[in-house]
Structure 1
């Protein structure tokens, strides 16, 4: 059990409960079923509207019970190729939003010493999410003792296990330089002001705490709500974009600005060989059309 993260256990728990109910209704052995029973179950889920990714989650969960010999044999692989053709998986976002929309809105939350604790809190987490391109889960684990202050930057170490932790992987290291040219939305200055403001009401070592009494540590979902609140106030469609979209927005903006791909991968916690950014995160702005390819062909032919 210790080999699974809490989020994986929660995800698998739902799938295993569903499998148990199916086996009970069909009078099938829950722990000693064959690939034919598995395919019937997955087909039933597919006909009920399950997506390709959901079906893959069911298969991963059931592999812990039935073994990979059953869940990855040739017939099951062929089934998933069929699902892929009938219902191709689509990315959650086809486009992303312009971080300048959020930065322009947050520039009104200034000076940091004069705004409310709520405004300072939501400003700090949103700017940190954009500047670091990290998941909310990772940001929720930041501890005060792991924050180092330097003359030109703030350095934040994450020493707890995160979603992508595995043997041989490195822990994230967040670097926040002081943006002296634009202090209104400088992540480092905002974070420093937030730490100073919450110093007397802080009851533990975690960075982000509730802005309401009793000012306890907040969970990942609360951080997501705070970021989504700011996105909504900035004019971004929060029915479409979640707090996690800050990773898409910031990494895509950095790529458009010419930042080296290796720098983007390292900042966001992807490995050197990872294709996650190019495949899932590199998005065009929602209010623009990418005409670069066509223009390169025809503009010079006049």
Structure 2
């Protein structure tokens, strides 16, 4: 599979094996390359296996791009099955003019490549276009999220998040999800996939070990990240002073134990976090619901502290905040990468600018909770 390397005007995407499709192929299914693979003479079993090489979210993104591309081709009177390199570049240019980012343009190229069974990214003109797009609209690295971890952790020690045995289930759910997210630097999708019972969840005197359900596929599906253990440490497990007792209220193990006890009677899911009210009570909390819980926790803490809640809070910012605090507290980057399930130190360095190495299993989670001491 290749894109004709000739940059001459009118050169088209070649399709090996003289594969042909209808003049106006439909892209209403999520698997944009199913029609092409079907004509290749593959058995249905092999076809279905090949189509599982991409995550469902990727298929959805590709499907949206292909639909947009087909509409553009219809308006421009372009053959969507055999567009020329120039025509593809015109489509990309329209996106660039509309303000699409470099990453979005790359997704468009990948989607159209899958649709045409061609390697568009290898074409010299496509490569040059992407380099130009990067210069015209360079990627913007967002600053550290504009909310203070200390403020949130301080307020989690106060009502409405304490005392833990008396608070509303809503605030128990919010607090437990937030502490899990901030001490593990996990993605929302990973938090949603956590299991609630052994052997996937185990409590020890000094830590809790969490695992995702066996059918979960992480975003970075490497051998290290698949079914990776998440070890979260106890925090001030044996408090002897008033200050230690206060900090013990940030113990994620304590919060998880109480959360499991409170949700036991209505739980209808093997996932750790479940909906706490309404018609879906007891069912798996969706990624959207968990994202809302994380944002609501931050906003509630700011309001409790009589401060204006920060705007444009994103659930994903808990990863950025926790890893940034870990950097500040000199947690080894390999532990940060492991906690955040990044594929390499390069990912961490690119976003959080750190380049050292060492080891400790629970260093990450403990350092995040200890950040509250920075205020003292």
What's the TM-score once normalised by structure 1's chain length? Answer: 0.87
* Higher radius of gyration, 1 or 2: 2
Partner of 1:153: 207
2:168 paired residue among 94, 116, 137: 116
Supply the distance in 2 between the matched residues of 1:261 and 1:61 (Cα, whole angstroms): 34
Supply the distance in 1 between the matched residues of 2:196 and 2:264 (Cα, whole angstroms): 10
Given the superposition, is the C-alpha separation of residues 62 and 168 from structure 1 closer, same or farther in structure 2, using an over 3 Å criterion?
farther
Alignment of 1:177-256 (within 5 A): 177-180=233-236, 181=244, 182-213=247-278, 214-235=281-302, 238-256=310-328
2:106 paired residue among 39, 56, 80: 56
| More relative contact order, 1 or 2 (CA 8 Å, 6+ apart) | 1
Supply the distance in 1 between the matched residues of 2:225 and 2:179 (Cα, whole angstroms): 26
Q: Say whether 1:126 aligns with 2:191.
A: no
Q: CA deviation at 1:157?
A: 1.3
Q: CA deviation at 1:68?
A: 4.1
1:4-59 per-residue CA deviation (whole Å, 9 max, x = no partner) reads 21211221121111101011112222222221111010011111222212111111
Question: 2:211·2:230 contact (CA, 8 Å) conserved in 1?
Answer: yes
Specify every segment of 5 or more residues in structure 1 that has no aligned partner in the other structure, as ranges: 284-302
Q: Aligned pair count? A: 281
Partner of 2:143: 94
Question: 2:73·2:80 contact (CA, 8 Å) conserved in 1?
Answer: yes
Partner of 1:171: 227
Q: CA deviation at 1:87?
A: 1.2
Question: 1:34·1:70 contact (CA, 8 Å) conserved in 2?
Answer: no
Given the superposition, is the C-alpha separation of residues 274 and 171 from structure 1 closer, same or farther in structure 2, using an over 3 Å criterion?
farther
Supply the distance in 1 between the matched residues of 2:286 and 2:353 (Cα, whole angstroms): 28
Supply the distance in 1 between the matched residues of 2:334 and 2:224 (Cα, whole angstroms): 19
Q: How large is the Cα RMSD of the aligned pairs?
A: 1.8
Supply the distance in 1 between the matched residues of 2:257 and 2:79 (Cα, whole angstroms): 58
Supply the distance in 2 between the matched residues of 1:218 and 1:231 (Cα, whole angstroms): 19
1:169-206 per-residue CA deviation (whole Å, 9 max, x = no partner) reads 54331111111242111111101110111111111211
Question: 1:153·1:178 contact (CA, 8 Å) conserved in 2?
Answer: yes
Given the superposition, is the C-alpha separation of residues 71 and 265 from structure 1 closer, same or farther in structure 2, using an over 3 Å criterion?
closer
Supply the distance in 2 between the matched residues of 1:168 and 1:113 (Cα, whole angstroms): 37
Question: 1:62·1:71 contact (CA, 8 Å) conserved in 2?
Answer: no
Supply the distance in 2 between the matched residues of 1:168 and 1:130 (Cα, whole angstroms): 21
What's the TM-score once normalised by structure 2's chain length? Answer: 0.71
134-143 vs 170-179, greater mean Cα deviation = 170-179
Specify every segment of 5 or more residues in structure 2 that has no aligned partner in the other structure, as ranges: 1-50, 237-243, 303-307, 355-376
